[in-house]
């Protein structure tokens, strides 16, 4: 289900779970950040970002101080969240899990894939930042391990892969496939030759789904939306680079256990 401001996936619909992949619509920011920019790491006015995050939290039925996010570093650290923190205390991590109701785990992205998880029966949720580097290094598996430590069972876990750069937009250099192949021999099928000689197109959401499936996740659904081409709805680092723009906004995805 989706509207102009949110996208929701059937795999994540369950009693006691709230989730949303937010588009760039419905916020207060202007210019290149228009309008629901939720990233303090951008050059947007901090008060605009704060108000946008408040709008997102409200759509999840929570006060703004119950929405947490991390300083994402393309790593594999998965934090167990027991209480919200303030922005000044943002930890460096790329995934979070919790079994505490009323805390929204937020992932910021602008071409990377936000991935949300739940085991509704166990009352455990997770959220991960799915860039190529973190996915290759094992951030999805780290998230699942942290969820199981809280009582989740992997074969009950359902995952939703949010809007991200699509396989027809993600052109990479000649060194990329070898880097993946050296770590994961099964990755070769997620690259195809690009029109530019020596370049390849990479299927990021497909590769994330492959890693989740191999880990034993019960159900995986992808939004199938390309952040690089759908400018009206999504922020995109790749699009910004191609245009030579000075900065870009960050989209938010979040999941919470209802109180």
Residue 74 predicted with pLDDT over 80? yes
Please identify, in words, the CATH class of the domain defined by 7-166+203-257: alpha beta
If you average pLDDT over every residue of the chain, what do you get? 97
Question: Terminus-to-terminus CA distance in the chain, angstroms?
Answer: 23
Of all residues in the chain, the percent with pLDDT exceeding 70 is 99
Q: Are 162 and 23 in contact (CB under 8 A)?
A: no
- Taking the domains of the chain in order of start, what are their residue ranges? 7-166+203-257
What is d(CA 236, CA 249) in angstroms, rounded to the nearest whole number? 8
Residue 176 predicted with pLDDT over 90? yes
Each residue's pLDDT tens digit, 59-73: 999 999 999 999 999
Of all residues in the chain, the percent with pLDDT exceeding 90 is 97
Each residue's pLDDT tens digit, 111-160: 999 999 999 999 999 999 999 999 999 999 999 999 999 999 999 999 99
Residue 2 predicted with pLDDT over 60? no
Residue 246 predicted with pLDDT over 80? yes
The pLDDT assigned to 4 comes to 85
**Strand 219-222 with 95-98, pairing:** unpaired
The pLDDT assigned to 129 comes to 98
For residue 5, give the nearest of 167, 168, 163 by alpha carbon.
163
CB-based burial of residue 47 (10 Å sphere; 0-12 exposed, 13-18 middle, 19+ buried)? exposed
Query: Rounded to whole angstroms, what are the CA distances from 208 to 29, 47, 64, 217, 221?
Result: 31, 34, 30, 12, 11
The pLDDT assigned to 1 comes to 41
User: Under 8 Å CB-to-CB from 89, ≥6 apart: which residues?
Assistant: none
8 phi/psi in degrees, rounded to 5: -125, 145
Residue 234's pLDDT band (boundaries 50, 70, 90)?
A: very high
Each residue's pLDDT tens digit, 85-113: 999 999 999 999 999 999 999 999 999 99
For residue 159, give the nearest of 109, 114, 189 by alpha carbon.
114
The pLDDT assigned to 3 comes to 67
Residue 76's pLDDT band (boundaries 50, 70, 90)?
A: very high
Token pair belonging to 241: 């680079």
The pLDDT assigned to 98 comes to 99
Element spanning 191, H or E: strand 191-193
Each residue's pLDDT tens digit, 8-32: 999 999 999 999 999 999 999 999 9
Relative orientation angle of helices 204-215 and 139-149, to the nearest 10 degrees? 40
The pLDDT assigned to 259 comes to 83
What is d(CA 245, CA 248) in angstroms, rounded to the nearest whole number? 8
């Amino acid at each position: 289900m989706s509207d102009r401001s949110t996208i929701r996936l059937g795999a994540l619909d369950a009693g006691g779970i709230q989730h949303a992949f937010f588009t760039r619509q419905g916020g207060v920011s202007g210019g290149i950040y228009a309008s629901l920019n939720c990233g303090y790491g951008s050059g947007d006015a901090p008060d605009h970002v704060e108000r946008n995050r408040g709008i997102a939290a409200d759509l999840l039925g929570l006060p703004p101080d119950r929405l947490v996010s991390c300083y994402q570093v393309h790593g594999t650290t998965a934090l167990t969240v027991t209480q919200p923190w303030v922005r000044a205390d943002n930890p460096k991590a790329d995934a979070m899990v919790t079994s505490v109701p009323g805390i929204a785990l937020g992932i910021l992205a602008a071409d990377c894939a936000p991935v949300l998880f739940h085991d509704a029966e166990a009352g455990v949720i997770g959220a991960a930042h799915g860039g190529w580097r973190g996915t290759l290094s094992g951030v999805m598996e780290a998230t699942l391990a942290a969820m199981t430590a809280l009582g989740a069972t992997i074969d009950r876990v359902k995952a939703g892969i949010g809007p991200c750069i699509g396989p027809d937009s993600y052109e990479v250099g000649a060194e990329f496939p070898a880097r993946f192949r050296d770590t994961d021999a099964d990755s070769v099928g997620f690259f195809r030759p690009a029109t530019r000689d020596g370049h390849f197109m990479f299927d990021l959401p497909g590769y994330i789904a492959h890693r989740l499936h191999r880990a034993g996740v019960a159900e995986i659904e992808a939004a199938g939306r390309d952040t690089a081409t759908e400018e009206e709805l999504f922020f995109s680092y790749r699009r910004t680079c191609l245009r030579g723009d000075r900065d870009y906004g960050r989209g938010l995805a979040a999941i919470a256990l209802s109180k």
